[in-house]
Amino acid sequence: MKSLLSAILLILLSYNCFAGDKGPFLSQSFDWEKTKVVITKYGSTRQFMKGFTNHLDYVEIHATTLNPGKEAPEKDIQLKVDKLLILKEGQIVQTINGKKKILTPGSVVLANASELLKIENQGIIPAVYFMIQWKNPMNSPVASAPGSNSETIIWEDVKVIPTEKGSTRRFYKKPMDFLYEFEMHVTMLNQGINSHPPHTHIDDEIILIKSGNVEEVVNDKTQPLGPGSFVFLNGNDPHGIRNIGDGPCEYFAFRFLREKPLK
């Protein structure tokens, strides 16, 4: 009987962990290599998460493979949600309100909910990008004219700041239509290095592995992850990351602060 109850409890915990439409997402990882690939008319897609968290009323994350000559599907350019695009492989042309830019791997587009976004693969090889979308009640601390929060950053243009553990690249720290503050940076860790001891913060955080192999610790549980893999971290869950590969590793870290913190 005891073993049966334990099995039932494990099933319920697993269901709560992955059923984002039934309850808030718990801290968990999404392995690139183990995520199902769905073939589409424009290329393919990998679905990571879709639902809500303790700090985001709606969040959806997937990866799109865009074949040469194809445009992004409607779900990647929809209005009424904040959007973050991170290019993994290949090259794309993105247009925001008529302004075009060519994106290279590692480049990002941050577009607010009112932006007219277009994504095209004008190259000769498939392009792969991550798309993160989210929504909350409109509570930005500043009034935003359309386009004021949009920003495209090319990977090669971001300054590399050396640190004692590797280096960092700072991308964003700004309000969005549905967030008090959105912050994103890239950390490079030297071989065998821990980013820091396990720590907590009130806001949700997502870690995206750009290169190398890491070991993510969340709530005393350890998960090895490679390039393209995600970690979703619920606010106040203790977590830390270590480079376990041969050579440096790089990862994007982005945090979602819904409201101004109480002092």
Question: For residue range 22-73, what is the model confidence (pLDDT) as tens digits?
Answer: 678 899 999 999 999 999 999 999 999 999 998 899 999 999 999 999 999 9
In a domain, 3, yes or no: no
- CATH label of the domain that carries residue 78: 2.60.120.10
**32: containing domain:** 24-257
For residue 97, the model assigns a pLDDT of: 79
pLDDT beneath 50, residues of the chain: 1-21, 140-147
Q: Kindly provide the b/e burial profile for residues 181-209, where b requires at least 16 CB atoms within 10 angstroms of the residue's own CB.
A: bbbbbbbbbeeebebeeeeeeebbbbbbb
pTM, full prediction: 0.87
146, part of any domain: yes
Give how many domains the chain has, as a whole number: 1
